[in-house]
Amino acid sequence: MDRTKEIVRVSYRGIAVNALLVIFKAIVGFAAGSISVILDAVNNLSDALSSVITIVGTKLAGRGPDREHPYGHGRIEYITSLVIALIVLIAGVTSLREAAGKIMKPSAPEFTVVSVIIIAAGVLVKFFLGRYFSAMGKKLDSGSLSASGKDASFDAVISSATLLSAIITMTVGLNIEGWLGAVISLFIIRAGIEIITETLDNIIGVRTDKALSTGIKDKINSFPQVHGSHDLILHSYGPSETLGSVHIEVDDSLTAADIDELSRCITAEVYKEFSVYLTIGIYATNTSDELSSRMRQRLTELVKADDMIIEMHGFYVDKEKSAVTFDVIYSYDEKDPKGAVERLKAQLEKDFPEYSFFPNLDRDFSD
C-alpha cells in the first residue's frame, strides 16, 4: 500500500463530503437566518481547506531525501498538522466574534422541517466522517488525518447542538442562537489548541512510546550474546521515518567480527519488526573476577538505596588504569543530579580507594 496515495485519496473524499455540507448548510443558514448553522457551514469549509492542506503537505513530505535534507521531508507532515490547527483556531475565534454580535443584537431564526432534516443529516455525516478520518489516521500514522478526524468529531457534537437549537426554536419559540454560537466557537477553539499542543510535542520531541521502546529492547535482549540494552533514543523524521541508537552490553571477550555480525543481525531484526533504523553502540562487561564483582555489587547496593536513581548500566573495570566507568540515570525529580552523582562517586572511591570512578550522568530517554 502506498501510504502517500492513500492519505491523498482519503483527503479527497473528505473534501467532497465537506463541500456538500457547506452548500446545504449555507442554504439552510441563510434561508432561516440562523447564525449557528452559518457558522457550522463555515467550519465545514475550513475542514475542506484542511483536507487540501493535508494533500499538499503529504505530497511534499513524501519526497525522498536529498543532499540538503538527508533525513527526508517527513516532518513536513507535522507542519501540515500545525497549519490545520491554526485554521481551526482562527475559525473558532471568528465564530466567537460573530456569536457575540448575535447575543448583543438577537434576531429570531426561522427553521423549517426540511432545514432540520438537513441539519440532522449533517450530524450523521460528520459523525461517520470523523470516525473514518480517525481510523485512517491511525492506520496510516498520519497526524493530519487524525487532526481532521478529531475536528470532524467535534463538528458532529456542534451540529447536534445546532439541531437542538432549531428544534427548541420551532417548538417553544426560544431563541438561543447567539449563546449556542458562542458554545460552538469555544468547542472549535479548544479543538484547535489541542491539535496545536499535540503537533508541537512532536516537533519539540516527546518520550518514545512505551510499547515501542520495550518491544525494541525485548527484541535486542532476545539475542543470547546481549546482557542488556540501554540508552535507546529514537528520532522521528515524519510518521514513516524513525532513526535511533542503543547501547548493548556484551562480554569483552567478543571479537570485532563477532560484534559486527551481532550488530548487523540486531539492526536487521529491529527494522523488520519495528521499521526503525538503529545504530548500535557497545558496552563491554568484565565483572567475572572477585574484585570487579565486589565493586559492582557495592554500586548496585548504593543504587537501590537511592530512590532517585532509575538505572545503572555500562559498568566496566579497567585494571591497567585502575579506573571504573559506568552510566547512571537519575529521575527528572532529582533537583541536583550532578551533585548526587558526585556523592555517589565519592562513596565508591572511599570504599575502593585504589580505584578511580568515572560515572557518566545519563538521561532517561525511554522506558
Residue 264 lies inside a defined structural domain of this protein: yes
255 and 346 in a common domain: yes
Q: What is the mean pLDDT of residues 128-149?
A: 83
Residue 293 lies inside a defined structural domain of this protein: yes
pLDDT for position 278: 93
Residue 367 lies inside a defined structural domain of this protein: no
pLDDT band (50, 70, 90) for residue 332: very high
Q: Are 330 and 342 in contact (CB under 8 A)?
A: no
In total, how many domains does the chain have?
2
Distances (CA, A) of 117 to 43, 120, 130, 159, 241: 19, 5, 20, 12, 46
Of 203, 219, 222, give the one whose Cα is nearest residue 211.
219
Residue 49 lies inside a defined structural domain of this protein: yes
242 and 341 in a common domain: yes
Of 172, 189, 204, the position where a domain reaches its end is: 204
336 and 298 in a common domain: yes
200 and 76 in a common domain: yes
Boundaries of domain holding 52:
3-204
Q: What is the mean pLDDT of the chain?
A: 84
214 and 200 in a common domain: no
Q: What are phi and psi of 247, to 5 degrees?
A: -105, 140
Q: Among 107-121, 128-142, 218-232, 289-303, which stretch is predicted with the lowest mean pLDDT?
A: 107-121
Cα–Cα dist 354/187, whole Å: 67
pLDDT for position 223: 96
Q: Are 274 and 288 in contact (CB under 8 A)?
A: no
Percent of the chain with pLDDT over 70: 96
The pLDDT tens digits of the residues spanning 59-112 come to 887 787 788 887 778 778 888 888 878 877 887 787 788 778 777 877 666 667
Question: Would the pLDDT of 190 be above 90?
Answer: no
Question: Would the pLDDT of 293 be above 80?
Answer: yes
Handedness of CA 241, 246, 250, 253 (dihedral sign): positive
pLDDT band (50, 70, 90) for residue 306: very high
139 and 182 in a common domain: yes
The pLDDT tens digits of the residues spanning 123-134 come to 888 888 888 888
| Residue 171: CATH number of its domain | 1.20.1510.10
pLDDT for position 116: 78
The pLDDT tens digits of the residues spanning 219-234 come to 999 999 999 999 999 9
Of 153, 180, 204, the position where a domain reaches its end is: 204
pLDDT for position 1: 58
349 and 262 in a common domain: yes
Cα–Cα dist 58/75, whole Å: 10
pLDDT for position 349: 94
188 and 130 in a common domain: yes
Residue 154 lies inside a defined structural domain of this protein: yes
**Sole residue written with cell 466522517:** 129
